Structure 1
């Protein structure tokens, strides 16, 4: 099937940010008295918007995170991005092929617009993303697994949900895409297939994606 729109998740799909951000998140939560391992951070928070972190911590501990939690966490993440962040291998080549084939694409991320832009500038992927094709959970209020973000992106791009395909690497993202009525393919470089149940297919290297998309 040739799709009318390819929607990319950002963290872990376009930029190799998940190891960095989950290491920092686990460390910060532990500092604040909520012991969290890297593996637990990946399991519970990978692919989620910031509000989910607050909700889960309060649900489990009965305590609210500090009011400046997001600000402090993002400052640490952005500093680490500037030092360490790289694009996912092959991501720029896939975007180049999509552009050459005239296939519309966009990014729909649980991260903030600032986080998306910081990562894209550091990795050079900003060359492939105009502001009008960058969508964040900030735009809709509810992040993944709610379908709101993907439906918002499809609407803004003028494409029916059933003509969209989503590229995801998180359980929450796959759930959101399915809830939106979209096909979704699971990127398994970091996430095992069994964690991405419901995806139409799986791929481990980004250079496999063009074949899946029929380019």
Structure 2
């Protein structure tokens, strides 16, 4: 069955934002008297809803974060993105080479997604209608309802689309919705309910995998 659409996550898939975002978070937490490593933050929060991250931080540190915490964090992250954000290696080449329709499907808010794509030079690949956000859909990864809603908006069935994701939350959401999923990163983490995802080390290999899937009869 041929592919009718490709759905890309944004953070960590198209733009190299995960480490930068969590570095901003860790530095902000340190100002508030809370110690956390960037690696621990990456392990805990990549791909998750912001409200869930805040709730976990408050449980972890047994505190209530100050009013405006999220707004300050987002503003600092936006500044860091403007100054330092780069596309994932191979992102522009992959998007430029695709003949299939493709979309961003992200748990982030639209403003953040569009800022990320703008400063990395990738926004030109995504007209406004080609971005789906959890904040507008009302479901967040790892809930499969997120990708089911995206498919519904596109008028597609699961076998007609392929997802490219980097986070466990995103991979779980896509697989749970019945989508063929290309997972950026090490294959070792793809066990249990993630085992059917196709692990690739980079976007160049993802491009090859996508081509094979498109040419496959099923």
**When the two structures are superposed, what TM-score results if normalisation uses the length of structure 1?**
0.90
Give the C-alpha shift of residue 137 in structure 1: 1.4
Give the C-alpha shift of residue 119 in structure 1: 0.7
After superposition, the Cα gap between the structure-2 partners of 1:193 and 1:26, relative to the gap in structure 1 and judged at 3 Å, is farther
Distance 2:112 2:95 in 1: 20
1:159 maps to 156
- Which blocks of at least 5 consecutive residues in structure 1 are unaligned? none
* SS of alignment partner, residue 213 of structure 1: helix
- Whether the aligned pair in 1 keeps the contact of 2:7 and 2:164 (CA below 8 Å) is yes
Which among 107, 128, 132 is matched to residue 131 of structure 1?
A: 128
Give the C-alpha shift of residue 30 in structure 1: 3.4
Does 1:193 find its partner at 2:187?
Answer: yes
Give the count of matched residue pairs: 209
**CA-based RMSD:** 1.7
- Which blocks of at least 5 consecutive residues in structure 2 are unaligned? none
Greater displacement, 84-93 / 1-10: 1-10
After superposition, the Cα gap between the structure-2 partners of 1:196 and 1:21, relative to the gap in structure 1 and judged at 3 Å, is farther
Give the C-alpha shift of residue 35 in structure 1: 2.4
Distance 2:28 2:127 in 1: 33
Greater displacement, 26-35 / 104-113: 26-35
Distance 2:170 2:131 in 1: 16
- Whether the aligned pair in 2 keeps the contact of 1:139 and 1:149 (CA below 8 Å) is no
**When the two structures are superposed, what TM-score results if normalisation uses the length of structure 2?**
0.88
Matches within 5 A, 1:105-144: 105-144=102-141
Give the C-alpha shift of residue 2 in structure 1: 3.3
Distance 2:25 2:46 in 1: 10
